[in-house]
Amino acid sequence: MENRDIRIEVPVLARVEGEGALELTASDGRIETLRLRIFEPPRYFEKFLEGRGPQEVLDIVARICGICPVAYQMTAVQALEQAFGMQASPYVTQLRRLMYCGEWLQSHALHIHLLALPDFLGFENAIAMAGKHPDAVRRGLRLQRLGNELIRLFGGRSVHPVGMRVGGFHRAPYPDRAAAVLKELRSALADAEAMVAFTASLDLPDDEQDFVSVALRHENEYAMYSGRIVSDRGLDLRVEDYLERFQESHVAHSTALYAHLDGQPYLVGPLARLNLNHDRLSPPVKAALEATGLHLPSRNMFHSVIARAVEIHEVVLEAIRLIEDLNNDEPAAVPLTVKAGVGCGATEAPRGLLWHRYEVDAAGKVISAQIVPPTAQNQARIEDDLKCSLEAFGLHNDDDALRLRGETVIRNYDPCISCATHFLKVRVERR
Amino acid sequence: MPIVSRNQTDALERLNARENPRPRIAVHKFSSCDGCQLAFINAGEALLEFAQLVDIVHFAEAGPMDPEAAVDIAFVEGSISTPDEAERIRAVRKNSRFLVSLGACATSGGLQALRNFNVDGAKAWTEAIYAQPEFIDSLDTATPVAEHVKVDLELWGCPVNARQVFQAVRQLLFGVAPVVDKDKLCVECKRQQHVCVLVAKGIPCMGPVTHTGCGALCPAFGRDCYACFGPAENPNTASLSRRFEGLGLLPEAVAQRFHLINSHAPAFRTEWLAWKERS
């Protein structure tokens, strides 16, 4: 059929965080090989952590990713507390969940409006889109700013916040500032709710695929800060037992490590969470979701944008509840006590499950560290998805169309390449 | 000491000699966490205003892509840590009239410069982390942009903040040299009237030697500054180290204070080495 040799070189993939490239060879309308090459330079974080004390760990892990530093701190802090045999108070847990709501809100609002929406509305980027759809862009920027404000209450700044410590926070948010954010959250609620119907009304491709969803599941909350690791194929695991079923491996074309569940690719992130935990959404969010007619579990990765909107609605409501319940008389931290041991932590970063393990000595210093970020877990799934979706899209399309579709597919995963070290050029070779 | 160096004046003259008053700008990423470019992306409505004032020709994370375009102002995030990056930064310099290093990684090497002091070289660490180390192409060091090409303005911070970045942009739009306050963090901390954590609590705060700019965030939380904005101008690191020793810190702990986010900055590197030898 096709005997021409074609190579598409698209430099760094736009609108993802980090850098990479996609290479594929195709013949007779079928993809023979497909590789997602990741070329973010290695940064050796796990080695920097060795010999560092508890506060240094929190200050260092934030730097793995500028988009989701809170996720890294939330996961590390729980792992260290487990290693030290410490128990955070319910109040501290409440404060942490509130801060985490801020990160979900800013990250999802950024992704939907600035990174994903231009694909679905047909623009090169959000800056070009702002001319035709100023309201959508402004709404996104408002929600994103509000998420950042929420983080600032606890950390002084939204990128690499400084307020977290093992045991709790260096101080609780000032009540007057928290009250001001509460007021803004209440007035943003209408925007957040409207996001669900808006994203569901987008003309999203119909692309059903078979995949395994993995996420944390909490007994009564929509899992974010804690829970057991579950899948839609019956997996139900304690956080400590992660390595028994999940394996990391390294492939030639990437500086990111690939994680597999029992040797198979799997999905983490908003759609995986929604598939597994939609019964835990609060009633107003359930109602908004039901009104869209979206059938769950969904097997269409393009529904990720709706899942993010649903989660924006959920975290705005959750943040309102949490602030309303704050009792500022309690201490913002329990005292730090250290001992030798091993601790594991897992939370739901905006992009999906994030897992940490630390071995610490009697002085509380790290002997060894292991970090499995969401993008490393999604990488094998992204390659599978690209194979299916590009073949379904049709390899007869010209290279630019293939590149755009490939990029759109990858953006569904909101890959944070800095986190996984590691993002996109497209190279198609047709034989 | 003049605030504006002769070199910067030349770059400014080049920038001001551009044909179109609306400058073409690029934001380039090297080894980094992407946190500093968020100063633009997190700016909210100011980002849209910014896009009116300048012509954004390359900014991968925000969308526009044209990495090899000639621009008037190039913002560079990240340190140089691979052979490819060492090549790429030279092209960026060649294609820009005025080059700004954005944040700790670009300005001092950043956190990943900690690898520079690993006696076994990056290779040993690659072998420890990656199952197939032969696939990893990495330099032994992660170094600041200024060790590779001339930098016209350094903006410190891990991360930089939007105020700092937009102030520099506005000044460049007015055709004047951006003025960067290189004072110690303590000055800002006192202005905000925080209780001194070093004096009142005996916590080893890095404020006395740290470049101002963050807004004294850590002392505002009752904790120690950890020098994410790098060394201030003329920092008396030796004196602060002796104070830390007086607080009961062992030499190794004193050394570690200088060996974190800006470990490759000369003032911090020297102090770290001096105390490491004693430990």
Q: What pLDDT sits at residue A249?
A: 77
Residues ≥6 apart with Cβ < 8 Å to B106: B30, B32, B36, B76, B77, B78, B79, B144, B145
Structural domain contains residue A4? no
Report, as an integer, the average pLDDT of B191-196.
97
Give the model's confidence band at A414: pLDDT under 50 very low, under 70 low, under 90 confident, else very high.
confident
Residue A4's pLDDT band (cuts 50, 70, 90): very low
Helix or strand holding residue B26 (H, E): strand B24-29
Q: Are residues B19 and B140 in the same domain?
A: yes
Per-residue pLDDT band for A40 (boundaries 50, 70, 90) equals low
A1-30 residues touching B, CB cutoff 8 A:
11-19
The residue-averaged pLDDT of B48-62 equals 90
- pLDDT recorded at residue A394: 86
Q: Report d(CA A212, CA A234) in Å as an integer.
A: 10
Residues whose CB falls within 8 Å of the CB of residue B122, separated by 6 or more in sequence, listed in order = A42, A44, B115, B138, B139, B140, B141
Nearest CA in chain A to B216: A156
Number of domains in chain B: 2
Per-residue model confidence (pLDDT) at position A329: 85
Query: Is residue B70 in a domain?
Result: yes
Q: What is the pLDDT of residues A76-89, one digit of tens each?
A: 999 999 999 999 99
ipTM over 0.90: yes
pLDDT tens digits, residue range A353-393? 999 999 999 999 999 999 998 988 998 899 899 889 988 88
Instruction: Please give the Cα distance from A128 to B62 (Å, whole number).
Output: 11
pLDDT digits (tens, 9 = 90+) for A311-339: 999 999 999 999 999 987 899 999 999 99
- Work out the average pLDDT over A27-38: 77
Only one residue has tokens 């500028």, namely A66
Please give the pLDDT value at position A52. 97
* Predicted pLDDT of residue A11: 37
- CATH number of the structural domain spanning residue A336: 1.10.645.10
The rounded percent of chain A whose pLDDT value lies above 70 is 88
The stretch B72-77 carries a mean pLDDT of 98
Reported as a single tens digit per residue, the pLDDT across A257-308 is: 778 999 899 999 999 999 999 999 999 999 999 999 999 999 999 999 999 9
Cβ distance B260 to A60 less than 8 Å, yes or no, reads yes
pLDDT classification of B141: cutoffs 50, 70, 90: confident
Task: Inspect the interface and report whether the beta carbons of A159 and B35 lie closer than 8 Å.
Answer: yes
A283 min Cα distance to partner chain B (Å): 31
Is A408 a member of any domain? Answer: no
Distance from CA of A159 to the nearest CA of B (A): 6
- Show residues of chain A in contact with B60, CB under 8 Å: 12-15, 19
In angstroms, rounded to a whole number, what is the distance separating the alpha carbons of residues A290 and A193?
A: 12
More confident residue, B136 or A323: A323
Could you tell me the end-to-end alpha-carbon distance of chain B, in angstroms, rounded to an integer?
A: 37
Mean predicted lDDT score pLDDT of chain A: 88
Residue B253 lies in a domain: yes
* Percent of chain B surpassing pLDDT 90: 76
CATH number at residue B55: 3.40.50.700
Share of chain A above pLDDT 90, in %: 66
* Shared-domain flag, residues B116 and B22: yes
| B152: pLDDT strictly greater than 90 | yes
Pairwise CA distance, residues B97 & B78, whole Å = 19
A254-266 burial: b if 16+ Cβ within 10 Å, else e: bbbbbbbbeeebb
> If you search the block for the tokens 């078979």, which residue do you land on?
A210
Task: Please give the residue range of the domain that contains residue A309.
Answer: 45-377
Please report residues of B whose CB lies closer than 8 A to that of A55: 223
CA dist A57 → A72, A160, A338, B161, B226 (Å): 10, 12, 14, 22, 12
- Last-in-domain residue among B173, B195, B218: B173
B43 and B87 together in one domain? yes
Binned at pLDDT 50, 70 and 90, residue B65 comes out as: confident
Distance from CA of B140 to the nearest CA of A (A): 11
Q: What is the pLDDT of residue A259?
A: 86
What's the pLDDT at A101? Answer: 98
Are both B98 and B198 inside the same structural domain? no
Look at residue B110 and tell me if it is in a domain.
Answer: yes
For residues A285 and A313, the answer to whether their CB atoms sit within 8 Å is yes
Distance (Å) from the alpha carbon of B9 to chain A's nearest alpha carbon: 32
Find out whether A274 and A311 touch, Cβ atoms under 8 Å. yes
* pLDDT class of A70 with cuts at 50, 70, 90: very high
Inside any domain, residue A39? no
Please report whether residue A16 resides in a domain: no
**pLDDT for residue A251 is more than 70:** no
**Torsion angle, alpha carbons of A19, A25, A26, A32, to 10:** -100
Q: Which residues contact A60 (CB under 8 A, 6 or more apart)?
A: A45, A48, A49, A52, B111, B260
Residue B40 to residue B52: CA distance in whole angstroms = 13
* Amino acid letter, B76: V
* Mean pLDDT of the A171-198 span: 96
Residues B30, B167 within the same domain: yes
**CA–CA dist A8, A189 (Å, integer):** 44
pLDDT at position A130 is 86
Best B33, B156, B158, B261 member to test A by mutation, with max A CBs in 10 Å, is: B33
pLDDT at position A17: 46
Q: Which of residues 257-286 of A touch B (CB under 8 A)?
A: 257
How confident is residue A22, by pLDDT bands cut at 50, 70 and 90? confident
Residue A365 lies in a domain: yes
Looking at the fold, whether B17 and B150 belong to one and the same domain comes out as yes
Host domain of residue B265: 185-278
Local structure of B148: helix, strand or coil = coil
The half-sphere exposure of B17 on its side-chain side, counting CA atoms within 13 A, is 9
Higher pLDDT, A163 or B51: A163
Q: Are residues B141 and B231 in the same domain?
A: no
Query: Does residue A100 sit within a domain?
Result: yes
Assess whether pLDDT exceeds 90 at residue B160. Answer: yes
Q: Check residue A416 and give its pLDDT.
A: 67
How high is the pLDDT of residue A252?
61
What are the DSSP calls for A136-203, one per residue? Answer: HHHHHHHHHHHHHHHHHHHHSSSSS---EETTEESSPPPHHHHHHHHHHHHHHHHHHHHHHHHHHTS-
DSSP letter at B150?
Answer: -
* pLDDT average, residue stretch B158-168: 94
CA distance B267 to chain A (A): 20
Q: Is the pLDDT of residue A255 over 60?
A: no
Give the pLDDT of residue A427: 55
On the 0-12 / 13-18 / 19+ scale of CB atoms within 10 A, A20 is buried
Does residue A7 lie in a domain region?
Answer: no
Q: Cβ A42–B126 below 8 Å, yes or no?
A: yes
**Residue in B closest to A68 by C-alpha:** B35
pLDDT category of residue A19 using cuts at 50, 70 and 90 = low
Contact B63 A128 (CB under 8 A): yes
Task: Verify that B141 and B268 share a domain, yes or no.
Answer: no
Whether B110 and B26 map to the same domain: the answer is yes
Asked, for residue B178, whether it belongs to a domain, the answer is: no
Q: What is the mean pLDDT of chain B?
A: 90
Read off the pLDDT of each residue in B221-245 and give the average, rounded to a whole number.
97
Give the count of domains, chain A. Answer: 1
Residue of A nearest to B126 (CA): A44
Among residues B213, B198, B177, B211, which one has the least CA distance to residue B249?
Answer: B198
Beta carbons of B62 and A145 less than 8 Å apart: no
Q: Are residues B135 and B168 in the same domain?
A: yes
